[in-house]
Chain A
Amino acid sequence: MKKKMEQSDQPLSAGGMINPKKKKSKVSGSSINGWLFASPWIIGLLLFYAFPLFSSIYFSFTTYSILSPGEFIGLDNYKQLMSDGLFWKSIYNTIYFAVFFVPLSIIIGVALAMMLNMRVKGMAVYRTIFFLPTLVPHVALAVLWMWLLNPGFGLVNGVLDAIGITGPNWLGSVTWSKPSLILMSLWAIGQPVIIYLAGLGDIPQELYEAADVDGASWLQKTFKVTIPLLTPVIFFNLVMGAIGAFQQFTLPYTMTQGQGTPDNSMTFYVMYLYDNAFKYFQMGYASAMAWILFIVIMLLTAVIFISSKRWVHYQGK
């Protein structure tokens, strides 16, 4: 097998290197093969991704219901959305979640990564422990936290009781439902922590040594060396975190059986979109919502990108 591969490799590379005249025909021949090999992916992308994506632009101007093609109604869906109370409520909920969750996930993520970067015996074990929650499926995570936060016999209120605090009815209260959701989302923070750890490992040791020589304190080293050089990674996690936060769906949907209770305080944008698309036969309306979400996320990402020039420091620049 190995021998064969070597043999087959040789003429190819030899053809490419030594025979520049023949190169053209060879390349186009192999590029056809290349396209063919990539075709399952390309066809899949075009058929199941690009096509639905672009047709949803058209559908957002119609009363399409999945089952019937509907009529063209111009901008009516968009106009109707502007006067839809639940639409605005879902935007408020989503922004509330994003505004608190994204910065908190960065602060806690970086702090956790720095702790997990210390040279302590058995660090691999600690790192595994903090990564484990990320492996829990979202639905299981939702069920788990519903029990933990249960007002009657949940562990959280039990502990609070023990130290003399009467815990709130976490998921049953309009005030506390979103903070509870942020809390449980922060629990599964392993993914960004891994990326921060990689970023930390990338910071050259000599910078710390130089800082030590200059007599810098731990705080100074953190804020003058570590954080600035971690900004490219923070930037990445900020963009991904913001996109993820705006698409919040699985956790609240599972916890409230799709109802967004109490009093729609857990109805997030994508949940309402899903209800319209698959429960109320309003795929056109839902498509319009999807495009609004797309534009919002695009703008937000653009803003983050433009601002990144001011605060992201790449090494070697």
Chain B
Amino acid sequence: MSNSIFRKLMFSFCLVIVIALVACSSNEDGDGSTSEGDTVEFWHSMTDTSGDAVEKVIEKFEEENPDINIEATYVANQGEGQNEKLLTAIAGGNPPDVAYFDRFEVAAWAAQGSLEPLTEMAEEAGISQDNYYDFAWEEASYEEELYAVPTTTDSRLLFYNKDHFEEVGLDPESPPTTIDELEEAAEKLTIKEGNRFERIGFIPWFGQGWFYGWGWSFGGDFYDPDTGEVTADHPKNVEALEWMTEFGQEYGVEDIAGFTDSQGTGAMDPFVSGQISMKIDGNFGVAALEKFDPDLNYGVTPIPTPTGDNFTTWSGGWSVVMPKGANNQEGAWEFMKFFGSEEGQKIFSETSRDFSVIESVNESLGYTEDPIFAEFINILPESNSRPVMTEGSLYWNALADAVEASTRGNGTPKENLEKVTQQVSDALEE
């Protein structure tokens, strides 16, 4: 009696296991080759305007390729050094077919063998460097192989509030061009009560004021691609960080932190609410301003330099990659090709207000005629891109740490940047 019940139980238990296993395995090799037609799994981290934009791209793609079905999944925190989910998916052999990917990390991931090379397919489809901005293409390649199809780019400029300028007697049509003028304007614009800022003129590291931008603006450099030498402690970089540190000391770095910690994004952005008069931001910041305060009277101008000329900036941007072991590579490539094509770029850029990586698309969308966007486009030829190297994430974080440490008085700028050079060089040698 007892045995029969045990047997029944065991039987049903085994049955459950078998069903579970079958279900799992069918799930694994069923993707891509099922009778429902081609399904391409696509992971991205876009919300808001760019989320709408990517939906439009997918819609159009599916319209043109009725046999391919794009299954888009939103994955929070993909990019900017946070790709844990994608990493484990690739390691586990079950990655999406296409992933939206921060371009400055392509080299590191390609060096790990975690992305499918696209060179052959690109050659077949006639896609080459000529189609794109040079820096975008370089970031998408690693050791002569193409690993990503670039999709967007950006540049960074100084945003300034014209009304504030007039209020304190500055000429709203001649924004600061040198670092000295910038400091002067910041001082005039700042209203401080006790340790609280009613309004602050400028914070060098706020918004997109990353150290890469300041280093280049001061005439420094970060990496020599020919020798592979890391130059975080370039004398001009040290100068830039010394200036940032002094700025922080003058205004009280903890008071500034108190100010920035109280700020939000979007409609709560302090530039929108008039609590900060100047900030460094990218062209993607324009969409938010248009949305939350279309009447804001502001201008953009190149990031000031010590000499008032040789303006520069830096550009990042996104791309689509095919993770190693993607199931439906053909379908994936079709989609990537479309996203990177003029047609796909036009749809995406029009809605998201991100710049296209194709010059003609930016022209046809009228970016070059818009007084604000034209500034961003015009500086692109002078723009830098972050070093194409395998330790891009580490370099980025180490520089952010160096800025934090220096402005908080924990080591001199020179010491901290030397430490970065050391750390990144060591990591590259391994």
Which residue numbers of A lie inside 8 Å of B, CB to CB? 4, 7-8, 11-12, 33, 36-37, 40, 63, 65-68, 85-86, 150-153, 166, 169, 171-174, 258-259, 261-264, 275, 278-281
Contacts and interface: CB of A to CB of B under 8 A. Distances in A.
A21 B218 CA distance: 91
Contact of A264 (B112, B259, B401): B401
Interface residues of B, number: 44
Given A33-B10, A278-B87, A261 B112 contact: no
A259 B401 CA distance: 9
B261 A151 contact: yes
A261 B261 CA distance: 11
A135 B430 CA distance: 45
A151 B255 CA distance: 9
Given A8-B1, A174-B408, A280-B427, A169 B257 contact: yes
Nearest to B426: A80
For the complex of A and B, the 3 pairs showing the least CB-CB separation, nearest first, are A152-B262, A172-B257, A151-B258
A150 B261 contact: yes
Contacts of A37: 13
A166 B195 CA distance: 9
Interface in B99-117: 108, 112-114
A11 B261 contact: no
Contacts of A174: 408, 410
A171 B410 CA distance: 17
Contacts of B113: 67-68
B82 interface: yes
Contact of A262 (B83, B393, B397, B408): B408
B88 interface: yes
Contacts of A12: 2
Interface of B: 1-2, 5-6, 10, 13, 17, 81-84, 87-88, 90-91, 108, 112-114, 194-196, 254-255, 257-262, 324, 391, 393-394, 397, 400-401, 404-405, 408, 410, 419, 427, 430
Contacts of A8: 1-2, 5
Q: Which of A171, A173, A258, A279 has the most CB of B within 10 A?
A: A279
Contacts of A33: 6, 10
Nearest to B257: A172
A280 B395 CA distance: 10
B113 to A, nearest CB: 6
B405 A152 contact: no
B13 to A, nearest CB: 7
A244 B13 CA distance: 37
Contacts of B17: 40
Contacts of B10: 33, 36
B88 A66 contact: yes
B261 A152 contact: yes
Given A166-B195, A172-B260, 6 more contacts: A4-B5, A33-B6, A85-B419, A86-B401, A171-B261, A279-B393
A152 B275 CA distance: 13
Contacts of B391: 280
B112 A169 contact: no
Contacts of A150: 261-262
Contacts of B401: 86, 263-264
20 contacts: A8-B2, A11-B1, A66-B87, A66-B91, A67-B90, A150-B261, A153-B262, A169-B254, A169-B255, A169-B257, A172-B257, A259-B397, A261-B404, A263-B401, A263-B405, A275-B397, A278-B87, A279-B84, A280-B391, A280-B394
Contacts of B255: 169
Contacts of A275: 397
A170 to B, nearest CB: 9
A278 B405 CA distance: 24
Contacts of A263: 401, 404-405, 408, 410
A12 B113 CA distance: 58
Contacts of B114: 67
A36 B16 CA distance: 13
B258 A172 contact: yes
Q: Which of B88, B258, B260 has the most CB of A within 10 A?
A: B258
A263 B416 CA distance: 12
A279 B85 CA distance: 11
A67 B86 CA distance: 11
B330 to A, nearest CB: 24
Contacts of B394: 280
Nearest to B91: A66
Given A67-B90, A166-B194, A279 B82 contact: yes
A103 to B, nearest CB: 28
B96 to A, nearest CB: 16
Q: Which of A40, A264, A281 has the most CB of B within 10 A?
A: A281
A66 B90 CA distance: 9
A22 to B, nearest CB: 13
Contacts of B257: 169, 172-173, 262
Q: Which of A65, A173, A263, A278 has the most CB of B within 10 A?
A: A263
B263 to A, nearest CB: 8
B336 to A, nearest CB: 21
Nearest to B85: A278
A41 to B, nearest CB: 13
B254 A173 contact: yes
Given A8-B1, A264-B404, A67 B91 contact: yes
Nearest to B404: A263
Contacts of B1: 7-8, 11
A169 B261 contact: yes
Contacts of A85: 419
Q: Which of A40, A172, A173 has the most CB of B within 10 A?
A: A172
Contacts of B404: 261-264
Q: Which of B257, B260, B261, B419 has the most CB of A within 10 A?
A: B261
Contact of A36 (B13, B112, B259, B408): B13
Contacts of B261: 150-152, 169, 171-172
Nearest to A26: B2
A12 to B, nearest CB: 6
Contacts of A67: 87, 90-91, 112-114, 324
Nearest to B430: A63
Contacts of A166: 194-195
A60 B114 CA distance: 21
Nearest to A267: B401
Nearest to A83: B426
B112 A68 contact: yes
